[in-house]
Amino acid sequence: MSTLQIWVAQALVIFLTTESVGELLDPCGYINPESPVIERGSNFTAVCVLKEKCVDYYHANASYIVWKTNHLNVPKEQYTTINRTASSVTLTNVASLSIQLTCNIFAYGQIEQNVYGITVLSGFPPEKPKNLNCIVNEGKRMMCQWDPGRETYLETNFTLKSEWATEKFEDCKAKPDTPNSCLVSYAPVYFVNIEVWVEVENALGTATSDHLNFDPVEKVKPNPPHNLSVSNSEELSSILKLTWINPNIKTIMTLKYNIEYRTKDASTWSQIPPEDIASTRFSFTVQDLKPFTEYVFRIRCMRSNGKGFWSDWSEEASGITYEDRPSKAPSFWYKINPSHTHGYRTVQLIWKTLLPFEANGKILDYEVTLTRWKSHLQNYTTNDTKLTVNLTDDRYIATLTARNLVGKSDASALTIPACDFQGELVESKCYLITVTPVYANGPGSPESTKAYLKQAPPSKGPIVRTKKVGKNEAVLEWDQLPVDAQNGFIRNYTIFYRTVIGNETAVNVDSSHTEYTLSSLTSDTLYMVRMTAYTDEGGKDGPEFTFTTPKFAQGEIEAIVVPVCLAFLLTTLLGVLFCFNKRDLIKKHIWPNVPDPSKSHIAQWSPHTPPRHNFNSKDQMYSDGNFTDVSVVEIEANDKKPFPEDLKSLDLFKKEKISTEGHSSGIGGSSCMSSSRPSISSSDDNESTQNTSSTVQYSTVVHSGYRHQVPSVQVFSRSESTQPLLDSEERPEDLQLVDNVDNNDEILPRQQYFKQNCSQPETSPDISHFERSKQVSSSNEEDFVRLKQQQISDLISQSCGSGQIKMFQEVSTADAFAPGTEGQVERFEAVGMEAATDEGMPKSYLPQTVRQGGYVPQ
């Protein structure tokens, strides 16, 4: 057959096959939904719809549908035949990630035929991404990471979105294998705030993370410093200097560093104090290192304000500190080899190499010096750790030093005793015995101890003294005995102390102590104390020491004196305050006020019951209330009736001037507290007046007594007027009126001056009557007004009640004030009372008998 025929045959076969496959591929039905994605644990319902042609072809209908999941029949209870061609199945609580759900029919009622199949996917909707954070690795693009939340079991897309305030950037889609991070496609731009967030989406839902707004410069992880190098210093073996190159990010931010170091063999890092490297720098010197030691360093950096991330650690760099002289002398010993040569011996000196931290460098060699006792010096230098020398039998001192590049160590010394050394030991001497083990590789650590060949009691006792002395205790101290005086090991001390009269007390003290406190001492007492030091062989007393305990403890005196003084001061203050508060009462009892007659306010004379004046508290001059009421009596000058007795009394009045302690001011002056002696005017005029005419008694001092003392003498009352009587001269008509003693009317006006109610408050005076005495001085008028106004009712009542005042003599004011003229004495009788009676005014005094030229006090 030709090729063409072959080709045609193949084409036919292919065509027919395709046709048949196409027919075979045409399903009999379909399932809806076709590619479901459901939430795990939820129910799912699918519907299988048969095509009509299949229903006819296979002689089947929906009731012949068999549902299978993963090739397993679904229980028929879960089927629902919808109609002739459709059947649904409900899968409950779908937990499988993927279910193959197939719709099958029994063709011809017998042959199971697959109609359609779907895959049911189940999963979860995406959770909100959390913990979104971004990092900008220097020189690289920004990468953000987040917590994607629970596994969705579905294809889930995470998209990182970013934008400026003025510009949006390209979305960054996370790769399926790294759903929790994304590297943006644009280069970072610093100093511009960017907002980023993550949006996640799958078939079951979407979610969005919180938005993050930041300046990328705050999220930078710098590159580590590079080219770290370490260099040492010949001058200082304890320092190393580090230098490095900073990352390029330094152009836009200042950096701070962490530097760590360790010795080469160590596993833990030490850190340089961060505050020492808190700003951009290029080098740093590390101090306090060990000499000739190798150290390893590393460094990292970040933004100095702490915002951002630390860089990775740099490459490690090593350095060795410079050498220093050996810090320790090597220990060495000797071996004496027996020598066959007489007088000489072979001595081998051996020692160990120093440890690195002791050598402080490379030991170049050792220097040995041998000194024969007080002479000849031999020097040897060797690199080895042993030296063999030939020595005489004398005693030698050997020294060994190790030397390195910087210097030599301290020398260690060794005594090689002479051959004939026998060890002359004496008693009571302290010897230091040292034993050094010698091993094959050299000497070991020596051990020393003190010893005595034989002990003895100390050659002298300890000297005790006081360190501190209190009222009931004393602290004693002493020095340890010098070794030469000990003669043995001091085992203990005994302290003996006593008073002059007391018994001695002993106290044992351990030898390690150098002070002791004596307690329960008596104050203000002399004590004698001494100490004894004891070795195994006995004791030795030291000298006696005396001290005296103080009477008072420290601060005791102050504790007593200060409170006492404060109490005294407080008491004094309280007393002063009390006295100040009660000053009135105290004054009343200690220094009572003495009324000044000159300042009394006498308003009315009253021979017996002087009217009370209710003095105003302010005006009341004599608060004691001794004398208050005085009325002015007009004495008729024409009265010729002689009364020798009266004259005498008048003389008394005239001659005697009474000083009432400053209170008396002559006529008119009154003093309630004055003596019971009568007072007379101190005015010369008045005296002359009285001398020229008969003595005129113008005042009567009525005294109620002082401090409950009843005066035994006659009491007098007087007016406060200080001017001589002038009324008789100036107003003759007044005298006329007065002469008519029987004419009550005429006398009334004048007598009305003096009327006062004994028990009633003082009535205001009749102004007209005062006008009559206008001729008198204004001060006298004031006196009258004051008298009228001042009511000493209590005193009047008192005087009235006590009956002490027998008689008041009234004197005409005019006569009282007018200069004394002959015949001015007026007689005043009981007209005033009558007048008072007639006028309705209360009677205030008893009438007096007044004779011409004076009056007679009753």
Distance CA 767, CA 772 (A): 9
Residue closer to another protein (CB basis): 191 or 580: 191
The verdict on whether omega for the bond into residue 33 sits within 30 degrees of 0, i.e. cis, is yes
Q: Are 485 and 542 in contact (CB under 8 A)?
A: no
Distance CA 600, CA 787 (A): 9
- Of 11, 14, 16, 189, which one interacts with another protein (CB under 8 A)? 189
x/- binding map, residues 198-227, to another protein, per CB under 8 A? -----------------x-x----------
**Contacts with 549 (C-beta within 8 Å, 6 or more apart), sequence order:** 469, 470, 471, 472, 474, 521, 522, 523, 524, 525, 527
Residue closer to another protein (CB basis): 12 or 189: 189
Q: Are 340 and 326 in contact (CB under 8 A)?
A: no
Residues 108-167 that bind another protein (CB under 8 A): 164-167
Q: Minimum Å distance from CB 168 to another protein?
A: 12
Distance CA 33, CA 451 (A): 109
Residue closer to another protein (CB basis): 230 or 249: 249
Nearest to 486 by CA among 533, 454, 542, 448: 533
Where do the H-state alpha helices sit in 724-774? 727-730, 732-739, 744-751, 767-772
- Structure tokens that stand for 257 in this block: 């560093």
Q: Minimum Å distance from CB 295 to another protein?
A: 36
x/- binding map, residues 158-187, to another protein, per CB under 8 A? ------xxxx------------------xx
Spell 235-248 as b/e; 16+ CB within 10 A means b. Answer: eebbbbebbbebbe
Q: Minimum Å distance from CB 169 to another protein?
A: 11
Total number of residues that touch another protein (CB under 8 A): 15
Q: Minimum Å distance from CB 165 to another protein?
A: 5
Contact between 190 and another protein (CB under 8 A)? yes
Residue closer to another protein (CB basis): 9 or 192: 192
Q: How many CB atoms lie within 10 A of CB 840?
A: 6
Q: Minimum Å distance from CB 217 to another protein?
A: 8
x/- binding map, residues 756-795, to another protein, per CB under 8 A? ----------------------------------------
Segment holding 214, helix H or strand E: strand 212-214
Residues 421-460 that bind another protein (CB under 8 A): none
- Of 98, 133, 178, 193, which one interacts with another protein (CB under 8 A)? 193
Q: Which stretch binds another protein (CB under 8 A): 188-196, 353-361, 605-613, 616-624?
A: 188-196
Segment holding 11, helix H or strand E: helix 3-25
Q: Minimum Å distance from CB 167 to another protein?
A: 6
x/- binding map, residues 831-850, to another protein, per CB under 8 A? --------------------
Q: Which stretch binds another protein (CB under 8 A): 25-33, 118-126, 191-199, 747-755?
A: 191-199
Residue closer to another protein (CB basis): 163 or 742: 163
3-class SS at 544? coil
Q: Minimum Å distance from CB 189 to another protein?
A: 4
Distances (CA, A) of 659 to 373, 434, 642, 678, 682: 125, 119, 29, 10, 9
Residue closer to another protein (CB basis): 249 or 277: 249
Q: Are 620 and 787 in contact (CB under 8 A)?
A: no
Residue closer to another protein (CB basis): 137 or 695: 137
Q: Minimum Å distance from CB 166 to another protein?
A: 4
Residue closer to another protein (CB basis): 187 or 577: 187
Partners of 476 in beta bridges: 466, 516
- Of 23, 71, 77, 191, which one interacts with another protein (CB under 8 A)? 191
Q: Minimum Å distance from CB 144 to another protein?
A: 18
Partners of 286 in beta bridges: 240
Q: Minimum Å distance from CB 140 to another protein?
A: 13
Residue closer to another protein (CB basis): 164 or 552: 164
Residue closer to another protein (CB basis): 163 or 536: 163
Tokens 């995470």 identify what position?
Answer: 158
Residue closer to another protein (CB basis): 252 or 451: 252
**Contacts with 423 (C-beta within 8 Å, 6 or more apart), sequence order:** none
Phi/psi at 652 (5° precision): -55, -45
β-strands 220-221, 130-137 pairing: parallel
Residue closer to another protein (CB basis): 253 or 796: 253
Nearest to 335 by CA among 388, 402, 382: 388
Q: How many CB atoms lie within 10 A of CB 816?
A: 36
3-class SS at 154? coil
Q: Minimum Å distance from CB 251 to another protein?
A: 5
x/- binding map, residues 228-267, to another protein, per CB under 8 A? -----------------------xx---------------
Residue closer to another protein (CB basis): 193 or 459: 193
Residue closer to another protein (CB basis): 164 or 344: 164
Query: End-to-end distance of the chain based on CA atoms, in angstroms?
Result: 201
Distance CA 586, CA 574 (A): 16
Q: Which stretch binds another protein (CB under 8 A): 190-198, 306-314, 482-490, 705-713?
A: 190-198
Q: Minimum Å distance from CB 220 to another protein?
A: 13
Q: Minimum Å distance from CB 174 to another protein?
A: 24
Nearest to 218 by CA among 281, 136, 318: 136
Spell 484-504 as b/e; 16+ CB within 10 A means b. Answer: ebbbbebeebebbbbeeeeee
Q: Minimum Å distance from CB 215 to another protein?
A: 7
- Of 8, 192, 579, 586, which one interacts with another protein (CB under 8 A)? 192
Give me the residues that bind another protein (CB under 8 A), please.
Answer: 164-167, 186-187, 189-193, 215, 217, 251-252
